Amino acid sequence: MTKQDTTDKPWGGRFTEATDAFVERFTASVGFDQRLYFHDIQGSIAHATMLTKVGVLTEEERDQIMAGLNDIRSEIEAGKFDWSVTLEDVHMNIEARLTQKIGITGKKLHTGRSRNDQVATDIRLYLRDEIDVIGAELKRLIEGLVGLAEREADAIMPGFTHLQTAQPVTFGHHMLAWVEMLKRDYGRLQDCRERVNVLPLGAAALAGTTYPIDRQITCDLLGFSAVAENSLDAVSDRDFAIEFSGFASLLMMHLSRFSEELVLWTSAQFNFINLPDRFCTGSSIMPQKKNPDVPELIRGKTGRVYGHLTSLLTLMKSQPLAYNKDNQEDKEPLFDTIDTVKGSLKAYGDMMPALTVNRPVMEEAARRGFSTATDLADYLVRKGVPFRDAHEIVGKSVAFGVAENRDLSEMTLEELQQFSQVIDADVFDVLTLEGSVNARNHTGGTAPVQVKAAAARVKSWLADR
């Protein structure tokens, strides 16, 4: 090969033969990292502005660079940009186009910078923006759940342990359990944002640069909260992406649990809730089917998000300092995680306010499962019976109810008195489902008044964010 064959690469100077065609395709990232174009240009404009302030570029050069980059952004957004695999990645594609447009000045943009600190900056800028979008979606979902909790604050359903009827709870209380999980997810996302929001630029390839750069200027221009302290660390670690994936995995785990409940509750066997038709799909063979595909799919998508977390952890594992090409593999898992989380949150955010509840069915299910048995035991304890004896008495009453196919509240006073003489007519106040939920009247309890108070607290939490 002649020297001429290598000049199509910005780094071709020391090479004597062209890149193998397969290797070129194999090592290129432009197919997926073009997604970073906006933030790559944003970072480049800040870099050029800083270089001008410290006297490395003239104002005229900076203006040419900025105009050229803004044009390129428009070309990309109009779908008129010709991405080239030969130019490997988003960074070199944009730089080559800039030089094509503005000539020799375009080649000065990369002064005092390397693709290593450039790409680390791009991902952080990109992820920061996506974190803000995801945070807003998460808040919208929480808002929808709180609305549902307020609307259904006194709707009674069976609460479960081991998926067996345990004690009656209110539907609103159940919704607020999901809200608490999502609030913690939101907190984790914001914690992660803090560590994402740090500027790598200036680290150059690994050791910093000999130009008189002022990293604080770049930092301020890009809205980062701090300059990365160590150049080797700045270009190499992707722990912030792993941390984001950790957040995403926990969020998806929560959504998968929620999805599982929606799938169960929409089944004919439970029939607790209805999802509007627009969130469901039918079967091509069974005309009666209305399937809860959206929650099922979100439950399933949890797997790929966990997979990406494992990919990123393994990608980073054992990498020596500083930058290694391995890190190019951070993008696809991160991008897919972001897309999956955004899609799942959008579907949930749209679905929640539209969900309706079948109150009579849920109440009947709570009644059928002897869910007020604990209330009867507590009643006996209040009348002086030791808890263990009370447990035994109620167990016998339940056995009688099972044989007779009747709930505790459907027995006569005489029937109940067979098991304990301390039982009085006032027992029926605690055996009703309403009595049972109203009695759990403390912070974190299921009583409707508590659900309303908790919902109000979540609303003020939302307003503070």
Which residues belong to the active site?
162, 283
Among 113, 115, 124, 193, binds ligand ARG (CB under 6 A): 115
* φ, ψ (nearest 5 deg) of residue 84: -120, 130
Nearer residue to ligand ARG within complex by CB, 317 or 325: 325
**Residue 327 interacting with ligand ARG (CB under 6 A):** yes
Q: Which residues pair with 274 in a beta bridge?
A: 356
Nearer residue to ligand ARG within complex by CB, 197 or 327: 327
Least distance between ligand ARG and beta carbon 460 (Å): 43
Q: Is 440 helix (H, G, I), strand (E, B) or coil?
A: coil
Nearer residue to ligand ARG within complex by CB, 61 or 89: 89
Site residues for ligand ARG, 33-72, by CB under 6 A, read 33
Nearer residue to ligand ARG within complex by CB, 142 or 204: 204
- For 181-212, give the DSSP string: HHHHHHHHHHHHHHHH-EE-TT-TTTT--SS-
**Residue 29 interacting with ligand ARG (CB under 6 A):** yes
Q: Measured between alpha carbons, how far is 201 from 209 in angstroms, rounded to an integer?
A: 10
Least distance between ligand ARG and beta carbon 317 (Å): 17
For the chain, the 3-state helix, strand and coil shares in percent, each to the nearest 5, are: 70, 5, 30
- Nearest by Cα to 347 from 425, 428, 275: 275
For residue 159, CA distances in Å to 132, 436, 447 come to 35, 12, 13
**Residue 198 interacting with ligand ARG (CB under 6 A):** no
* φ, ψ (nearest 5 deg) of residue 10: -60, -25
Joined tokens for residue 61 = 């050069």
Nearer residue to ligand ARG within complex by CB, 33 or 243: 33
Least distance between ligand ARG and beta carbon 330 (Å): 7
Near ligand ARG by CB under 6 A, which window of 47-55, 114-122, 190-198, 401-409? 114-122
Nearer residue to ligand ARG within complex by CB, 119 or 263: 119
Other CB atoms within a 10 A radius of the CB of residue 338 amount to 22
**Residue 122 interacting with ligand ARG (CB under 6 A):** no
Q: Which long-range contacts (CB under 8 A, 24 or more apart) does 38-42 make?
A: 38/73, 38/126, 39/121, 39/122, 39/123, 39/125, 39/126, 39/129, 40/90, 40/91, 40/94, 40/118, 40/122, 41/69, 41/70, 41/72, 41/73, 41/94, 42/125, 42/222
- Nearest by Cα to 396 from 423, 432, 436: 423
For residue 227, CA distances in Å to 197, 221, 233, 347 come to 9, 12, 12, 37
Other CB atoms within a 10 A radius of the CB of residue 69 amount to 24
Q: Measured between alpha carbons, how far is 356 from 276 in angstroms, rounded to an integer?
A: 8
Nearer residue to ligand ARG within complex by CB, 298 or 334: 334
Find all residues with CB under 8 Å of 212, minimum gap 6, and list them.
54, 55, 56
**Residue 95 interacting with ligand ARG (CB under 6 A):** no
Near ligand ARG by CB under 6 A, which window of 69-77, 236-244, 324-332, 406-414? 324-332
Near ligand ARG by CB under 6 A, which window of 39-47, 71-79, 113-121, 188-196? 113-121
Nearer residue to ligand ARG within complex by CB, 105 or 327: 327
How many residues lie near ligand ARG (CB under 6 A)?
9
Find all residues with CB under 8 Å of 120, minimum gap 6, and list them.
200, 201, 203, 234, 235
Among 46, 48, 102, 119, binds ligand ARG (CB under 6 A): 119
DSSP-assigned letter for residue 421: T
Least distance between ligand ARG and beta carbon 71 (Å): 23
Least distance between ligand ARG and beta carbon 98 (Å): 17
Identify the residue whose tokens are 């409707």: 448
Among 328, 340, 409, 438, binds ligand ARG (CB under 6 A): 328
Q: Is 13 helix (H, G, I), strand (E, B) or coil?
A: helix
Near ligand ARG by CB under 6 A, which window of 42-50, 61-69, 325-333, 456-464? 325-333
Least distance between ligand ARG and beta carbon 314 (Å): 17
Least distance between ligand ARG and beta carbon 296 (Å): 35
Site residues for ligand ARG, 75-94, by CB under 6 A, read 89
Near ligand ARG by CB under 6 A, which window of 55-63, 112-120, 133-141, 290-298? 112-120
Least distance between ligand ARG and beta carbon 25 (Å): 14
Site residues, ligand ARG (CB under 6 A): 29, 33, 89, 115-116, 119, 325, 327-328
